[in-house]
Amino acid sequence: MGQRDTVFVTGATGFLGSHVLHSLLESGYQVRALVRPGSRTLPPRDGCMPVVGDLTKPAALIGPMRGCRYLMHVAAVYSFAPTRRGEIWATNVRGTAGILEAAARAAIERAVVTSSSAAVGPARGNEPATERNYADADDGSSYHASKCRQERVALAARIPTVLVLPTAPIGPNDWKPTPTGKMIVDFMRGRIFASLGGGMNLVPVEDAAHAHVSALEQGRAGERYLVGGENLSLSRIWQLLADIGGRQAPTMRIPYSLALSLGWAEELHSRLFRRHDTGVADAPLIPLEGVRMARHNMFVSNRKAQVELGYRATAVQPALERAVRWYHDHGYTD
C-alpha cells in the first residue's frame, strides 16, 4: 500500500465516514470523497478532493473514480424511521451494488465495505456473535435486513472486497444523530424513564474508523471483520450516562409486550403524520426496530479482527464522555 495511493470514499460527511476520512488522511492516503448534491459540505482538508455525485447514479461515478486505487464504501442510511425504508433499501443495497460495479469498471483494485454487526445477529446464549453467524434477514427489521442483503451483493462484486462490521459507534460528530446517538441525546434530555432488558456492544467511533484502514491494508478479500468495543447491558449504559451527565439512571423495567405495543403505535403515528416542511415523519421516539433489538444481547467477539487486523478497542466511557460533550456543545441537549 503506497503512501500516496488514492482512495475513493463514500459517506465522508456522515458520522462514521467523517472519522474514516480522517484516519485515511492521517495514514497518508489521498482521498476523493463523494458528496451528495445538497448535503453537508466537507471542510477543506489537504489531500481530500470532494466529488459531487449520487449513489443512485453509479454510472456517473466511473469517471471520478478512475485513477483511484481503492474504494472505501461507508455510506448508508442508518435509521429506524418507517418512512425511510425505501431510501434505506435504495442506498444500502442497490447503492452498494452500483458503486462496486462502477469501481470495477473504473479499474479499482480493492474495496472495503462498511456492513454492520446487525448482520450477525444477537449473542447465542452465553456466546457472543462472531463472523460465522448470520442474522435472520426475514425478521421484518428494515435496516438490519438491508445490511444482510448488502453483504451478499458486496461479496458478489467483481473486485476483491473486505467487509467491516462495526457495532454501535459512539463519539463526536454524530450530527444527524444515528439511532445510537439519539439514544444518548434522549437520555441527556431526560426522556428515558424505563429500560428493557438486553444489551449492546458500543465502540468508540475512532476505533471503528482505524479498523477500516487496517482492513484496507491487511484484511482478506471475501472476509467479514466484526469491530466492537465493550459488551454492555442497557442498564449499565444508562448508569454510565447518568454518571457522565449527573442524571438519574432509570430503574423501572418495561415489559417487552408493552414496549412492542408502544413501538407499533409509534410506527403507525410515523406513517400517518409527516412534517409539513419535508413531507417525512421524524424518527419514532420508540422505534419498533429498536424495541425488537433491545430484548436481545447484541454482543460480539472482536477476536478475528484482533488476530488478522491488529485491532485493539479503547475504553467506552471516555467515548461516551466525548459524545455527550459534543452533543452539549452543539445544542442537542438544550
Over residues 211-228, the pLDDT tens digits come to 999 999 999 999 999 999
Domain of residue 137, residue span: 6-170+205-228+300-314
Taking phi over 0 as left and psi of -120 to 50 as alpha, with beta for the rest, 173 belongs to left
CATH number at residue 121: 3.40.50.720
For residue 99, tell me if it sits in a domain.
yes
Q: What phi and psi values does residue 172 have, to the nearest 5 degrees?
A: -75, 160
Judge if the upstream peptide bond of residue 43 is cis by omega within 30 degrees of 0.
Answer: no
3-state secondary structure of 51: strand
Do the domain assignments include residue 273?
no
Task: Report if residue 143 sits inside a domain.
Answer: yes
The pTM of this model reads: 0.89
DSSP code of 129?
B
Report which of residues 268 and 330 the model is more confident about.
330
Take residue 165 and report the three cell numbers written for it.
462490521
CB neighbours of 132 closer than 8 A, spacing ≥ 6? Answer: none
The answer on pLDDT for 6 being more than 50 is: yes
Residue 86: per-residue pLDDT? 83
Counted domains in the chain = 1
Residue ranges in 114-255 assigned as alpha helix (H) = 142-155, 179-188, 205-218, 234-245
The predicted pLDDT at position 334 comes to 78
Angle at 237 between CA 236 and CA 242, to 5 degrees: 95
Contact of 71 with 103, CB cutoff 8 Å: yes
In terms of Cβ atoms closer than 10 Å to its own Cβ (0-12, 13-18, 19+), residue 54 is middle
- DSSP helix/strand/coil, 304: helix
DSSP-assigned beta bridge partners for residue 6:
30
In a domain, 269, yes or no: no
Q: Which tens digit of pLDDT belongs to each residue from 170-207? A: 999 999 999 899 999 999 998 887 777 789 999 999 99
What percentage of residues in the chain have a pLDDT greater than 90? 67
Task: Tell me how far apart the alpha carbons of residues 189 and 302 are, in angstroms, rounded to a whole number.
Answer: 32
Is there a domain that residue 286 lies in? no
56 part of a folded domain: yes
Is 264 part of a structural domain of the chain?
Answer: no
Instruction: Judge whether 290 and 176 are in contact, CB under 8 Å.
Output: no
Q: 324 lies in a domain?
A: no
How much is the average pLDDT of 291-318? 91
At 216-260, the pLDDT tens digits run 999 999 999 999 999 999 999 999 999 999 988 888 677 666 665
Once rounded to an integer, what is the mean pLDDT over residues 124-139? 87
Strands 230-233 and 199-204: antiparallel
Which of residues 92 and 281 earns the better pLDDT score? Answer: 92
The secondary structure of residue 72, as a DSSP letter, is: E
